[in-house]
Amino acid sequence: MSNSPETVFDKIISGEIPCHKVYEDEKVLAFLDIGPLCPGHTLVIPKERARFLHELSDSSAAAIGRVLPRIARAMLKATGAESYNVLQNNGSAANQAVFHVHFHIIPKIEDTGLGLKWRPLTLIPEEAQRLSEVMRAELEQD
């Protein structure tokens, strides 16, 4: 575990707080959100304690990536939904409320689910060039 403060998710992982478990393996736990945006709203969390996605180990990230599609299929079957969102927030400004990495799988049924206003900007070529160069250089160092 990292030096991050304990969260409600740590207490759910340890069994101190009960949950409506959907899936569990050695690295991942998935359970129904107690404040769902729609019936079937599921949280998928790593058992590794990390506040933000970029702090998560490759092995925990891979474990989550492996099960997200399976959990989404199970949620679709259970709810009858045909559409859904996968949401993952990092930091207070990005609406993260629990500071332990977690993914929301949120069914979209009628008027329930995630509401989203998309306000696209224009990609400026010079800025795109700069950003892509910095990101490639960073990724080469990993």
Rounded Cα distance between 32 and 39, Å, is 9
Catalytic positions, written as ranges: 102
